[in-house]
Chains A and B, each alone.
Chain A
Amino acid sequence: MDGDVQELLKKGRYEKALEQLLELYGKKVFRMAVMMLKDTGRAEEVTQDVFMKLWQALPAYDGRAAPSTWLYTIARNTCLSAVRGESYRQTTSLKEALEPTASNTTLLNIEWEEYLSKLPDIQREVITLFYLEEKSVKDVADLLDLPEGTVKSHLHRARRALGKMMD
């Protein structure tokens, strides 16, 4: 998949390469933005920014890293800048962010939201992203630039901690 994109980039077919990257990784980048910004609308704007930055940087691509690695780095940095720029952590709850139209916010979910907020940042990020990325450890590892073993270890710790909080 990345190989096809690399071929297109070598041939200078940037628009086609961008379309492929959007097709392959658009959703993943968007979900990471949701996880970090906790606001689907804002996450979509930031995802647009990520791909605009990628578009502007494509002619400088030197082929040393896979295009997806490059994209994820841009995505992480753009999301971090957006988080720093606006204090979303304090203003928007995770529940509101992930299901903005759902009206069945139960007491149980609020309780779980609180449990998640008590986890260390990295564990919360890993476990949230794990579910948002449809339970793919590899995708989470790629997005956060962590080894798969580390992701699994954070997942296990987070699950154990949540289990203890439940007791």
Chain B
Amino acid sequence: MECQTVQEEILDSFEEPRASLIQREIDAHLADCPTCARFAVCQKTVEAQLSAMLIPPEMSSAFRSVLLKTIRRERMRFWSEALPDIVHFVSCAGATVLCAILLPFGTAVIFGAGTVAALLTYVLLTMVRDSLQDVEKPDQ
């Protein structure tokens, strides 16, 4: 083995152990080559120092539960924000259908009026909600 190859093998050995045959060749070369022997000692020191210094850190034990709790809260927030709108539109649709059954007007007129009423009340609902949020968070 040439010096360059031996040095590459030494560096590779820190990533995965060399096969015993190659290891024997490396050892034989190191016994006769002071330059490569010095290189091997130096690299072993580098390896030992880095292994001692760069210890894999661990996450705190609460990490997983905190994350899952945050995700559940986010999901709940989505529903709590969307629920008034869903209830509003479902109620409007129900009222419109009821009117179409009970009132003596054409279906197109009832559904047209129902759609306009639903949109107008939605705008009103949004305005009221925004103003309430402003009252709750005056600094933002």
Contact = CB atoms under 8 A, between A and B. Distances in A.
30 contacts: A18-B71, A26-B59, A26-B63, A26-B64, A27-B59, A30-B59, A34-B57, A44-B59, A44-B60, A48-B70, A51-B67, A52-B74, A98-B54, A109-B53, A112-B49, A128-B54, A131-B50, A131-B53, A131-B55, A133-B56, A135-B14, A152-B12, A155-B15, A156-B11, A159-B11, A159-B14, A163-B39, A163-B46, A166-B45, A167-B42
**Which of B49, B54, B67: most chain A CB closer than 10 A?**
B54
Interface string B58-69: 111001101110
A103 B45 CA distance: 22
A79 interface: no
Interface residues of B, number: 30
Interface of B: 8, 11-12, 14-15, 39, 42-43, 45-47, 49-51, 53-60, 63-64, 66-68, 70-71, 74
Contacts of B45: 166
A134 B54 CA distance: 10
Interface residues on A, range: 35 or more
A135 B15 contact: yes
Interface of A: 15, 18-19, 22, 26-27, 30-31, 34, 40, 43-44, 47-48, 51-52, 55, 95, 98-99, 108-109, 112-113, 127-128, 131-135, 137, 152, 155-156, 159-160, 162-163, 166-167
Closest 8 CB pairs of A and B: A131-B54, A163-B42, A156-B11, A162-B46, A30-B59, A34-B57, A132-B56, A40-B57
B46 to A, nearest CB: 5
Contacts of B67: 22, 48, 51-52
A163 B57 contact: no
Contacts of A155: 11, 14-15
B63 A98 contact: no
B51 A131 contact: yes
A135 B63 CA distance: 24
A47 B140 CA distance: 28
